[in-house]
Structure 1
């Protein structure tokens, strides 16, 4: 029986994403990168080796494993042109979202999801967790379409689905049935916890019911929490207290956690320690939060209302970073390009990719929060999955969105269509037609 040939690339790779047990790989440079020969045969990496000195004089491309998108909304992606919210307000986003949801069809969700997954696949994403509107007229159609796409894309993009429902829904018999239905299909449970917050025990009771449902059916929990600029940290604090009181054994993620940025520093640190003690992960979503929050009509925003990533990490909280909404009423931009998100996060959140803690939110921490089988670290026996960039280092990547080639299971994908000449630009620069 013939064996697949061994292939090798000479690359610059973040040392933080290379097996920590490997020694003698050579010096790590000021960008946290190490020159490396990566070899693979078939679908698996077979060797990681230092480069000889004569190979270090020539420029080497920067390469990373495919990245992870920990929070998306495929069911409403690309709906902004038909349901715009250029005012950028929360109220406007909710109104346009409800308008879209009332008209949504399974065919639309299939088209949106297929488009999103094709972009993700070609641009270097290997997993996406998508929240799905799960109460109302289009809930079943949305789930059926995305479940079909999950099966269709299995083995290429790992698609996880979260039931997004009003928190109080989990208190009802219908909530019990939804939890069972979602669990039977391998999904997660979710909801929204934020201002104005119930003045009675409703929020606490509803969250307790959600955690009970998750424990009963063995599902992970991923909540939209504290996506607000008032009553900072109240939702995250409630989740952490209940998780500790109920001794929850299921994974819990608080997505957004934006209003924590408005707490005094000591209060932030205390709450971060409580979140860490409860074993709760956080997904920061700076693009949508900076678009919707901190607005001052007629004025430039002063506040960056987003999860305090570094404070959370310092307390030991596992933090991932996602794009959230893509071209929908909640955020008008994005196209599932993880490297564009990484570039923007340097500016929005001062997340620096030269540092291990700056890369983890897109790679290892995101993979761990989603419970993926591979943590994204390059080691012998790991998947032969790489994104090789037309950049020699982080400065190149930050200067412009780089072209790339994607290796998945030892095979190169075709270059994305975006690299082909745009029809909009055809003919530009050509000599004028003769009269």
Structure 2
């Protein structure tokens, strides 16, 4: 099979064996596979390299999703597009959740992700209140059904103060028994005064204690806001550096950090790197909800400062976050579309290693996956071939794709049915 692969997805040890990237960072090569594993990788002759070959990736990663509420926007719309309205609609939906509803959402989401070329998803689950048990029951069952096809990581999303209670300790034990992660929300409004700051710190300490005791990772929603720049992220980093906790920690969002002056932002990025804290940027939801000015176009677009974090050495991934729910009405668990959107929104250049890594190798590192997504001998024969031969073609229009998993091509999606909203051809 002949294709063009981004240099960052090819075993670097092959760099001196005739594998040369072109000016767009693409390597033309041939891959052979057997029994679901790559058995041979060969560079193509110079004349073949100039021929039309498909652009290819290894399957990409979704590092931050909410499967429990996906596809609920139609029944629980947020027509204001605000954080407050999203939270209110989410609470109404949460109070009515059933196992059957969440199971249907999860199956639809995982099927879409699988067909779109995703190999791993980390999903946060609302975990305190009426909808918690149905959500966990449905998603634990979904994880088992999909275990051989797609890795699903589950995070317990709870108010930070909940981890101080006996109920929080019980939840942590159950999550750990299910190989899950612990999570929560740190962000404005922050309490004023020493007592309130101490309460924030105490709750975070309790969460880290439970995670360390039970061997869980931690993934927090931090600073998803357009105020109090970077305060939550700074608190997490300071606590980890003070105590040198042996816990894998991810700060998702970190949006308001970008509102800091450049020197302060870079300094905080260095502290995150020193604390070995990963960050997941979430442009779709953040650009949709944050910085709104009624009747005006936003002029501040808070988003994790991707370049500063990467330059500091922070593991940085980019995720889709909400899909067709009260927090964001769009999305479809499509990593290729997320990459295409992120290029202009975040000014990422996918032909550069750091432009592609947030969706592939760096995202795999954040989720601590067994395979980093690099093509090498013995690696899984998993590829996504695109109906685009260059980065320009990829960014110009949504490409068709074929997905190879364990050396077997997935059946193409069913032929698209004519829309009843449009008149017939002819």
- For the aligned pair, the TM-score class normalised by the smaller chain equals over 0.9
Q: Distance in 1 between matches of 2:217 and 2:131?
A: 23
Q: In the aligned structure 2, how far is the partner of 1:306 from the partner of 1:291?
A: 11
- Of 389, 392, 396, the residue aligned with 2:389 is 392
Q: How far, CA to CA, are the matches of 1:352 and 1:54 in structure 2?
A: 27
Kindly report which structure 2 residues correspond to 1:14-413, keeping only aligned pairs within 5 A, or say none. Answer: 14-22=6-14, 23-199=16-192, 200=196, 201-413=198-410
Distance in 1 between the 2:278 and 2:19 partners?
A: 34
C-alpha distance in 2 between matches for 1:429 and 1:25: 50
Contact 1:258/1:289 (CA < 8 Å) preserved in 2?
Answer: yes
Residues 25 and 36, structure 1, Cα contact 8 Å, conserved in 2: no
Going from structure 1 to structure 2, the CA distance change for 1:400 and 1:57 (only over 3 Å counts) comes to same
Q: Which residue of the partner structure matches residue 10 of structure 1?
A: 2
Q: CA deviation at 1:250?
A: 1.4
1:239-283 CA distances to partner (integer Å, 9 max, x unpaired)?
001111221111100000000111000000010000000000000
Gaps of 5+ in 2: none
SS of residue in 2 equivalent to 1:21:
helix
Question: Using the alignment, how far apart are the partners of 2:419 and 2:226 within structure 1?
Answer: 43
1:426 offset after TM fit, Å? 7.6
The alpha carbon displacement at 1:42 in A equals: 1.6
CA contact under 8 A between 1:123 and 1:416: conserved in structure 2? no
CA–CA distance in structure 1, aligned partners of residues 352 and 265 of structure 2:
23
Partner SS for 1:424: coil
Tell me by how many angstroms 1:187 deviates: 0.3
* CA pair 40-426 structure 1, distance change in 2 beyond 3 A: farther
Q: How far apart are the structure 2 equivalents of 1:427 and 1:292?
A: 35
What CA RMSD, in Å, does the superposition of the two structures yield over aligned residues? 1.1
Name the SS of the counterpart of 1:38 in structure 2: strand
CA distance in 1, matches of 2:344, 2:4: 23
The structural deviation recorded for 1:24 is: 2.5
8 Å Cα contact 1:74-1:131 kept in structure 2: yes
**Secondary structure class of the residue paired with 2:12:** coil
- With 53-62 and 41-50 compared, the bigger mean Cα shift is at 53-62
2:425 maps to which of 413, 416, 429: 429
CA apart distance, 1:416? 2.1
Answer whether contact 1:25 1:34 (CA < 8 A) is retained. Answer: no
Residue 420 (structure 1) shift: 2.7
Task: Give structure 1 stretches of 5+ with no counterpart.
Answer: 1-8, 431-435
Q: Number of residues paired by the alignment?
A: 421
Q: Give TM-score scaled by structure 1 length.
A: 0.95
- 1: distance between equivalents of 2:27 and 2:417? 34
